[in-house]
Chains A and B, each alone.
Chain A
Amino acid sequence: NAGVTQTPKFRVLKTGQSMTLLCAQDMNHEYMYWYRQDPGMGLRLIHYSVGEGTTAKGEVPDGYNVSRLKKQNFLLGLESAAPSQTSVYFCASSYAGWRLAGGRRQETQYFGPGTRLLVL
């Protein structure tokens, strides 16, 4: 049980290049999320998905696109990278069920290890 995995771990892009970040989870979670973390800014939600084939915008969606073709995968795309997109990107997933074992509610999200992206 690997939990949430992210590919790649680190990437350097030139301005204008495109790339796709891959997130995979093996916990059968319905919900998946993409965040970015910048110094002094905490975690900010980019896009999220409440199920296969559905996506929605988060707090900072501009410049990113996402797709959820399979339940276990959530892709984050940068069509034309900009230096402002230099950041650490985290994927997370969570259940949609009403109640979990131990009373932990479904908002509990489980995070991947992150992808560090540098745009020059």
Chain B
Amino acid sequence: DQQVKQNSPSLSVQEGRISILNCDYTNSMFDYFLWYKKYPAEGPTFLISISSIKDKNEDGRFTVFLNKSAKHLSLHIVPSQPGDSAVYFCAASFNSGGSNYKLTFGKGTLLTVNP
């Protein structure tokens, strides 16, 4: 049962254009969502997050949109740069009331930004 889905294994865009990476989730208990970026031979690095009380969060060229009714979030990168080429993971969590906060990850989307 895959609770966080990234249905596009890969995405290719031109430098300067917008990149849109999508993520769907099935567990309505999720209330916090994160995007991680991963370069080859490196660990994932935190990129941006959003709480379920918001529908948009922006950080420089990166914006995450959350549509709770559709259980969908997306990451927009504008403008895209060749250095953005990486695998992007979507992750989600919920506060179960306990003291352990686990993340559920999607399978990732490989973004290639062509010069």
Tell me the chain A residues, 17-50 only, with Cβ under 8 Å from chain B.
Answer: 31, 33, 40-45, 48, 50
Q: Judge whether B49 is part of the interface by a CB distance below 8 angstroms.
A: yes
Q: Judge whether B51 is part of the interface by a CB distance below 8 angstroms.
A: yes
Interface residues of chain B: helix, strand, loop or mixed (majority): loop
**Interface residue tally on B, bucketed by range:** 20 to 34
Min distance, Cβ B71 to any Cβ of chain A, angstroms: 18
Chain A: residues with Cβ within 8 Å of the partner, total of 28
When the two chains form their complex, are residues B42 and A105 in contact, meaning their CB atoms are under 8 A apart?
A: no
**Chain B residues in 8 Å Cβ range of A44:** 105
A94, B36: Cα distance in complex, Å: 14
A-B contact pairs, 10 of them (CB 8 A): A40-B9, A42-B107, A50-B99, A92-B43, A96-B99, A107-B34, A108-B46, A109-B103, A110-B46, A111-B45
Identify the closest chain A residue to B33 (Cβ). Answer: A107
A5, B106: Cα distance in complex, Å: 24
Tell me the chain B residues, 58-115 only, with Cβ under 8 Å from chain A.
Answer: 89, 93, 99-103, 105-108
When the two chains form their complex, are residues A43 and B44 in contact, meaning their CB atoms are under 8 A apart?
A: yes
A111, B41: Cα distance in complex, Å: 12
